[in-house]
Structure 1
């Protein structure tokens, strides 16, 4: 945190920033009457552990104290020290932790400047919702079970040995550090991680009760063949040798950097900690915290916030409790303002009603459709607005399934998830609708749907058949009904037009108009429409080639010719031009395309504004020499020719 604060202020432009690295250094810096920025930890306001007599350093009222993480330490002896050292300095507090009801923060710093609650942050998408799940009650360390657990884990010890263990560690810590219990928890959390978290590419933190427990977790994970893990704990001068590998700051820094990377870039999946990294640590790829420690008050909220950071594909954070946090969770949160902590943790079971509601909503799209008829279900999404709403509803349902799976509560909805995934893919192919993908639904759901689609004979990675493909007719005939066949051809033509529109805007726009006329005239006569659309498809490119050849124009010239023809017809108010005007249009087109051929030979032509301006002037001058010249057509042709040139002459 010390380094983060200093780095943040050092990015301020034109400011001198000093980092106080000792008590003496802090005193020296704060006694100066200069407009510098000074960063320091609160602990620098105490001479030593036994001394509370901090001197007055500067009585100026032009010094401003910005206190980050402004809770607890601000109210005790360190708070007294800073108030004595800078008696007239206005103070502004920042905290990402809800304020306690006793309002000590308000008493120390005054009224709110601004508030931003947990629920507001989730609603805005600034953070993700955290789901809480208590696992396996028989390992919990709370309540009456503690002595029973002790007896279970230390059954092989004599009464004297048990008494010695209790004297050294106490019953609770002895149970928390029991290798047998830690192994059992590791087996369960690995199952949870591999089923819920790993498939979506996220990572995990394990929070333990002691440094020794952290090392035992690390060792046990290795023995169980878990994904790579690192133990990160603080060290002290009196440490035994076996702590050393886990307390080296250089190795810890490297491990943290590896942990923050995507799994594809570095496989480190777990970090095991006691107290380190529970505050100020920002690793958005971390989605789950496995808790095996009793956390209280601010520490609890700060710790669980490690998993609420946003990250692509991360719809929720998870807190999985092995200690028994739920037994006093409400009590732990009661000390805070109710509004501040509303929505801090949601129980995983609260997501099941949301899943049911999402399922009901998406299935309504097929209320009056035979769900055994895939073609009919896909055709029910023919309307663009209906299809857009289906996409929203389907992805909401799929995301809820990803949150719940593989919990048994998801089982009743699995068949419909597969069914909807197949409809989604069928509609994506038929309507050539790229929005109907599986982005953001989670890898567990994506894998399930892909597997089902393949099992039914369709590879979801293969795009819809191209309009001009040799086997197009065979693919169309795979549809059972004439309506489905007509729809396949119609949307294949539409897709072909969309893809090629920029290459020859006028020609493909005219095709779109003709297609609409055919469908409007023959809709509901599906067998007749199939034949008409197939004939239309067969002649799309043949007609274009023939028209260009009849005019003596190349493919490129023909596209520019069509634009010029359209603009002249617009100006004249008549689509059928006389032969002389048409001949002039052809001649002007050839001249302008020749100019463009030469101009675009210049390297990076479109990035050189002087060259582009010169070409525009040449187009304008050539139009001015024609019989159809008017100011309006000059600008229109100049702009449209240059837009088409970017397509035709792209590098």
Structure 2
């Protein structure tokens, strides 16, 4: 080991050994894991490439294991001779494009797969260009090959599928429908690997069907960074999940930036009096008929969001709030619900003049977002496009979008990009730091949107989500669905996969006292802490000779100081972005000291580095902190009625005693929303439980009104109620439907409940149908249904017929023909519901 090293190195190592056993470090583990001969050869051959822009790129561990799992999957064939496919679930920002490149290059070296061609399918031209550029810069595709690889039309796509031999091809999913009319649009080869980017968006409809028909034996691999939720069909369409890399893992690995969420809801949103006054003010010159017509038009809450007064209020808040980020050269996005809102925000921001902005949207004749259909709105969009876009680009938004993206990435480019749907998904810009949200977002669209600001940048510690629309409950629901996926996925995922994805601003700033003490603790040996020179001397190098080796005994102290200062500075940055920090009376008198101390520590750090001639660079936060220290958080006039929330903790057990009144009320609201949805949707397969809990919910809401002044008690009552609903804990239903392992036969319980739901107690008593008999009947019904479903999965009509016949034989003597028919109808309804939900 020391053949090529100096004798001093060997003596130093031997002295360490002589002193006792050496601790195993993370570096040791990394060396053993990565430099194992077989793995090192694999990494060199398959997982290293040279990018013309970024230089040498080595695959991250999730890419390595993802590709290994992919290769194993596509090496197998199903009974029809098709290569097997599946889903790669790698969180947004984890390098899916490079994973595609690594796979494409690895196939060349694998003898059994060397003949395979790769077909990359996306749903947007800009994404196609982005991935193609990645392939080119990484050396997987030449400029010449790129021109040949891209399908330019439906006819060209048909030729490439049926007759061409390009190893790598690209197409937009929409071209498959047009290509279907051509005879050559077919290739039965099993040596085609189709990589579908963001499979959840492009897996439905005719185009996808045409794609799979044209390539019947190809392996289809869906790449997605979005949780594949229960109501999505991505997994069923492409196969099972091959490999996963969650947001929590990416945050822990520091490959993406964690996200901070803050709710800043304008009071206008829910103030009916303000809405009425607004109408009175703007309709003074209208006739009574015109006023009535206008009020009908704007009676929906969604329309109120677009009124100029509200947009101007938010635009002022954004303009002030963004100033700290602007000074650091960072960028932001504003997500709107319609093109009209986007244009109005553009006008408002321009009028205020504190930030520059650009609008990214499709042409006027393309529906996007929650568009209104009135002539005035059409005119606004049409006129804006004609005046601002058409003179240079006409009605083609392809080049317009490209120029917007290029300008946004430049330091001198626009500060804020205003979007509707376009560029709210699949758009990556590391400088993009703040997402201002003024549109409803749900499910995978919500996760995709907030991931726009999670890319790493040297001036970013967090990505910021500023919510003007109130999406917190929807985010909570999405996490619940994420948890449902975890329960259904092979290896199993946990709600912890979202832990660390978000941080609450209110909990972050509360770390300041501890971190402030941590910095000062480094100077515990300095008697006079007001003496700047003494502090400086305590960090200056002190060289000592230890067994012939000269070491700086204060090196560790300086490193500890730098780390502690970085932690303190980063939390100060978060604190200065939160209104809660300025409203917290505990920090009265402390804020100025924290700022002054931070300035002094920054100067001390600069001096210490100069004294030590250090090459370690801690400048990444200097400009950031400088701008924040000299400017208070803007926009605190917009109230935060419910504070900031630790969204990563949603779905976890909450300690009631730790809740404030506002937090308890908020948690109660969320539980009520969740429970209502569970009763309406999940319990649709159990009419008796649904009826029971619907009544209890109404009673609980009434009881809660009497507890208005005791919000924590309200929360505890609803939390207990939610557990009962989730477990379907109905008082007069016995426990026989849960076996010893804890598995719950919900279908059998539902069949038991049907007897209670359809027939009164006297009827059941007259026919000797006690609970024991009903439990037996329920399991017999479950057996009849399972048999019919298994034997007739492709013939629903016959399935239902078999259920009716089976139940008639089973129940005729007990309850008669008419009652059996009544019960059979309900059993079939439950069966249909279960099949539709994949249960």
Q: Cα 1:246–1:326, aligned 2, differ >3 Å: closer, same or farther? A: farther
- Corresponding position of 1:422: 600
Q: Retained in 2: the 8 A contact 1:5–1:39?
A: no
Alignment of 1:179-258 (within 5 A): 179-194=308-323, 196-237=324-365, 240-247=382-389, 248=393, 249=397, 250-258=399-407
Q: Retained in 2: the 8 A contact 1:214–1:273?
A: yes
Q: Retained in 2: the 8 A contact 1:283–1:309?
A: yes
How far is 1:217 from its partner? 0.5
1:5 aligns with 2:111: no
- Corresponding position of 2:536: 378
- Corresponding position of 2:626: 446
Q: Cα 1:335–1:72, aligned 2, differ >3 Å: closer, same or farther? A: farther
1:364 aligns with 2:521: yes
1:309 aligns with 2:455: yes
Aligned residue for 2:199, secondary structure, equals coil
> Hey, what's the Cα distance between the residues in 2 that align with 1:246 and 1:295?
28
Match of 1:260 among 397, 409, 413: 409
- Corresponding position of 1:432: 611
> Hey, what's the Cα distance between the residues in 1 that align with 2:351 and 2:164?
60
Aligned residue for 2:310, secondary structure, equals helix
Aligned residue for 2:332, secondary structure, equals strand
Structure with greater Cα Rg: 1
- Corresponding position of 1:280: 426
Partner deviation per Cα, 1:361-390 (whole Å, 9 max, x = no partner):
222223464333333433443533212211
Higher alpha-carbon deviation: 321-330 or 11-20: 11-20
Q: Retained in 2: the 8 A contact 1:289–1:320?
A: yes
- Corresponding position of 1:37: 168
- Corresponding position of 1:104: 233
> Hey, what's the Cα distance between the residues in 2 that align with 1:167 and 1:6?
49
How far is 1:47 from its partner? 4.3
How far is 1:232 from its partner? 1.9
- Corresponding position of 2:642: none
How far is 1:42 from its partner? 1.7
Partner deviation per Cα, 1:480-515 (whole Å, 9 max, x = no partner):
xxxxxxxxxxxxxxxxxxxxxxxxxxxxxxxxxxxx
Aligned residue for 2:159, secondary structure, equals helix
Aligned residue for 2:244, secondary structure, equals coil
Partner deviation per Cα, 1:212-268 (whole Å, 9 max, x = no partner):
111111111111113221112111448633333455434443232111012xxx142
> Hey, what's the Cα distance between the residues in 2 that align with 1:360 and 1:47?
67
How far is 1:416 from its partner? 3.5
Match of 2:505 among 336, 348, 352: 348
Q: Cα 1:129–1:423, aligned 2, differ >3 Å: closer, same or farther? A: closer
- Corresponding position of 2:576: 405
Q: Cα 1:83–1:219, aligned 2, differ >3 Å: closer, same or farther? A: same
| Unmatched runs of 5 consecutive residues or more in structure 2 | 1-126, 366-377, 486-494, 541-553, 632-839
How far is 1:96 from its partner? 1.8
Q: Cα 1:164–1:53, aligned 2, differ >3 Å: closer, same or farther? A: farther
Partner deviation per Cα, 1:333-377 (whole Å, 9 max, x = no partner):
322243554433333223223434322322222346433333343
Alignment of 1:79-158 (within 5 A): 79-101=208-230, 104-140=233-269, 145=270, 147-148=272-273, 150-156=275-281, 157=283
What TM-score do you get using the length of structure 2 for normalisation? 0.48
Aligned residue for 1:114, secondary structure, equals strand
Match of 2:468 among 310, 314, 322: 322
> Hey, what's the Cα distance between the residues in 2 that align with 1:94 and 1:290?
27
Q: Retained in 2: the 8 A contact 1:127–1:310?
A: yes
Q: Retained in 2: the 8 A contact 1:428–1:437?
A: no
Q: Retained in 2: the 8 A contact 1:132–1:348?
A: yes
Partner deviation per Cα, 1:517-544 (whole Å, 9 max, x = no partner):
xxxxxxxxxxxxxxxxxxxxxxxxxxxx
Partner deviation per Cα, 1:389-408 (whole Å, 9 max, x = no partner):
11110121012112221546
Q: Cα 1:342–1:40, aligned 2, differ >3 Å: closer, same or farther? A: farther
1:18 aligns with 2:167: no
> Hey, what's the Cα distance between the residues in 1 that align with 2:605 and 2:405?
44
Partner deviation per Cα, 1:561-615 (whole Å, 9 max, x = no partner):
xxxxxxxxxxxxxxxxxxxxxxxxxxxxxxxxxxxxxxxxxxxxxxxxxxxxxxx
> Hey, what's the Cα distance between the residues in 2 that align with 1:58 and 1:147?
61
Q: Retained in 2: the 8 A contact 1:231–1:271?
A: yes
How far is 1:67 from its partner? 0.8
How far is 1:175 from its partner? 1.1
> Hey, what's the Cα distance between the residues in 2 that align with 1:400 and 1:434?
28
Aligned residue for 1:125, secondary structure, equals coil
Q: Cα 1:357–1:105, aligned 2, differ >3 Å: closer, same or farther? A: farther
Alignment of 1:167-178 (within 5 A): 168=297, 171-178=300-307
What TM-score do you get using the length of structure 1 for normalisation? 0.61
Q: Cα 1:130–1:426, aligned 2, differ >3 Å: closer, same or farther? A: closer
Partner deviation per Cα, 1:434-473 (whole Å, 9 max, x = no partner):
559761225352257799xxxxxxxxxxxxxxxxxxxxxx
> Hey, what's the Cα distance between the residues in 2 that align with 1:187 and 1:171?
25
Alignment of 1:289-304 (within 5 A): 289-304=435-450
Q: Cα 1:341–1:352, aligned 2, differ >3 Å: closer, same or farther? A: same
How far is 1:38 from its partner? 2.3
How far is 1:198 from its partner? 1.7
Q: Retained in 2: the 8 A contact 1:232–1:246?
A: no
> Hey, what's the Cα distance between the residues in 1 that align with 2:182 and 2:289?
48
> Hey, what's the Cα distance between the residues in 2 that align with 1:163 and 1:58?
62
> Hey, what's the Cα distance between the residues in 2 that align with 1:152 and 1:381?
64
> Hey, what's the Cα distance between the residues in 2 that align with 1:136 and 1:376?
49
Q: Retained in 2: the 8 A contact 1:427–1:433?
A: no
> Hey, what's the Cα distance between the residues in 2 that align with 1:13 and 1:96?
24
> Hey, what's the Cα distance between the residues in 2 that align with 1:52 and 1:301?
37
Q: Retained in 2: the 8 A contact 1:66–1:94?
A: yes
Match of 1:67 among 187, 193, 196: 196
What CA RMSD, in Å, does the superposition of the two structures yield over aligned residues? 3.2
How far is 1:102 from its partner? 5.6
Q: Cα 1:226–1:251, aligned 2, differ >3 Å: closer, same or farther? A: farther
> Hey, what's the Cα distance between the residues in 2 that align with 1:402 and 1:9?
38
Aligned residue for 1:115, secondary structure, equals strand
Q: How many residues align?
A: 441
Aligned residue for 1:155, secondary structure, equals helix
> Hey, what's the Cα distance between the residues in 2 that align with 1:13 and 1:79?
26
How far is 1:104 from its partner? 3.3
Q: Cα 1:416–1:83, aligned 2, differ >3 Å: closer, same or farther? A: same
How far is 1:432 from its partner? 0.7
Alignment of 1:565-604 (within 5 A): none
| Unmatched runs of 5 consecutive residues or more in structure 1 | 452-651
